[in-house]
Structure 1
Amino acid sequence: MGQHQFICTHVISIDLPGQGVYQIHMIPYHDAQFTRPYEGDVEVQVNQQMYVAIEVEGVDRSQIATVLDNCWATPVNDSEYQIRWNLIIRECPNPKDGTVEVLQNGIDTISHFSFRMFTFTGASDHIFLHCKVHLCLVQNGRCAQSCNPGRRRRRHRSLDFHHSAAITIGL
């Protein structure tokens, strides 16, 4: 109890009409500088701060930014599972989870967030992390909203929405 086997780093390939194929990687890191990715069977402690990068490859990084829309965890490898815990909601940290930080979002092809590792009571020793992302054309203006309380405003998505996808890793 209190340790987790790291299962996998996930990569998905998506065909973007007119642009070719791009890949989305979800990679957990040991450190806030995102220099030491987890590799192989690594044990993760409950309450350990996890640092996660979502990276898109195969697109023009001068034109495209990656935006984290929603991230959540489930105790089984099913993104639609009824038991879930939200980490990021509409691009911002879940206000009910004070451990979540959105560190970089919508300014590059890589987005970063962190959270404190946990387990679902009585369900599993693992958690499965899911993120829904979209690609944004940076020329259309700001890609991700400010998460400061009281400053959230609705943006028109029709102009900057480019493509969306979901990705999962197990921890």
Structure 2
Amino acid sequence: MSTTFTLRRSHAALWWPLQSEEGVVKFENKVVLGDHSNDMVTRHDQFEVKFSCAYSQPEVKTVALKIKDSSVVQTITAGDWSFTLNLKVYLDAGRTTLVEENTELQLDQKVWVALSTDDLDEKLVSIVTKSCWATSEDDKDAETKYELVVEGCPNKKDDSVEVTGNGVGVSNYFSFNMFQFTGQSTDVYLHCEVTLCVEEDCKPDCSGAEKRRRRRRALYPAPSSAFISMSWAQ
């Protein structure tokens, strides 16, 4: 036996309440068909269909990273200069909260990396962070690397990088958002090349204008270059 419905005027009402329990996401829905010639009353049967769909709730994984040796101190001899270079990582722009070894950092979280020395007279010399880059292995010359600071300026391809105070004293810092290499080890190694400058104006030109080769060689004298590294991992 079959039943035939004749519908002259109809109205379909849809609701999508969302429920989540025990790892399952459930959508519930119903369709109501009826004559809405009068908003208060109806003289025709209403037809209601209820249905639902259930899906496994997507698993969201949170990656917590920890910086190994978040404070690195290295004694450097560069040319005629000898000084102690400090590299520290902070959680705030004011550089008041130091990242500790047990501090968990999330992907895309911003951190501030400060490089400084107490052994040099800023009236005579300035330190310039020439470049900083990350590798997936403990080798600053590794083939796979991600640049953060390039020729003293933020990498233009990464909007999260900012460089402050570079070449204007015996300390400077830069910031970037935490990351890890795609499809590789969770270990990330950060390397920075620091140089000394005895010029009156040591601040790198990050305006995008073409730099004169002679000025760049004077700003970054090869004998005064030094490297410092740190790392973080999951």
TM-score (norm 1): 0.89
Partner of 1:141: 200
Contact 2:202 2:219 in 1 (8 A): no
Residue 108 of structure 2 is matched in structure 1 by 47
* Conservation of the 8 A alpha-carbon contact between 1:71 and 1:86: yes
The count of corresponding residues between Structure 1 and Structure 2 is 167
Taking the aligned partners of 2:117 and 2:224, their CA distance within structure 1 comes to: 12
Query: Taking structure 1 as reference, are residues 83 and 18 closer, same or farther at Cα in structure 2, changes over 3 Å only?
Result: closer
Alignment match, 1:117:
178
**CA shift at 1:76, angstroms?**
1.9
- The yes-or-no answer on 1:59 pairing with 2:117 is no
SS at match of 1:6: strand
Q: 1:159 to 1:30 in 2, by over 3 A?
A: closer
Kindly state the Cα deviation for residue 124 of structure 1 after the two structures are TM-superposed. 2.0
1:88 to 149, 154, 176: 149
User: What is the CA-CA distance between 1:160 and the residue it aligns to?
Assistant: 6.8
Structure 2: give runs of 5+ residues left out of the alignment.
1-61
Q: 2:131 is matched by which residue type in structure 1?
A: N
- Percent identity over the alignment? 32
- Backbone CA RMSD of aligned residues: 1.8
Q: Cα deviation per residue 1:94-130 (whole Å; 9 max; x = unaligned)?
A: 1111111111200010011011111001212231111
Q: Would you say the 8 A contact 1:69–1:134 is kept in 2?
A: yes
Deviation of 1:16 after TM superposition, in Å, equals: 4.8
Q: Larger deviation: 125-134 or 1-10? A: 1-10
CA distance in 1, matches of 2:201, 2:151: 15
Which residue identity does 2:211 align to in structure 1? R
Are the counterparts in 2 of residues 145 and 152 from structure 1 also a CA contact under 8 Å?
Answer: no
Shift of 1:49: 0.6
Compute the displacement of 1:14 (Å). Answer: 1.7
Task: Determine the C-alpha separation between the residues in 2 that align with 1:115 and 1:126.
Answer: 17
Corresponding residue number in structure 2 for 1:157: 217
Question: Which residue of structure 2 aligns with residue 71 of structure 1?
Answer: 132
- In structure 2, the CA distance between the partners of 1:159 and 1:167, relative to structure 1 (3 Å rule), is closer
Give the structure-2-normalised TM-score: 0.66
Return the letter of the residue paired with 1:143.
Answer: C
Structure 1: tracts of 5 or more residues without a match = none
Distance 2:91 2:144 in 1: 27
**CA distance 1:83–1:59, change in 2 (3 Å):** same
Deviation digits for residues 22-49 of structure 1 (CA, Å, limit 9, x no counterpart): 1111111100111111122211110001
> For residue 50 of structure 1, what is the amino acid of its counterpart?
V
SS in 2 for 1:134: strand
> In the superposition, relative to structure 1, how do residues 104 and 159 fare at CA in structure 2: closer, same or farther (>3 Å)?
closer
In the alignment, the residues of structure 2 paired with residue 89 and residue 156 of structure 1 have an alpha-carbon distance, to the nearest angstrom, of: 13
Larger C-alpha radius of gyration, 1 or 2? 2
Alpha-carbon shift at residue 158 of structure 1 (Å): 3.2
Q: Distance in 2 between matches of 1:25 and 1:105?
A: 15
Residue 15 in structure 1 maps to residue 73 in structure 2? no
- Whether the 8 Å contact between 1:146 and 1:152 is mirrored in structure 2 is no
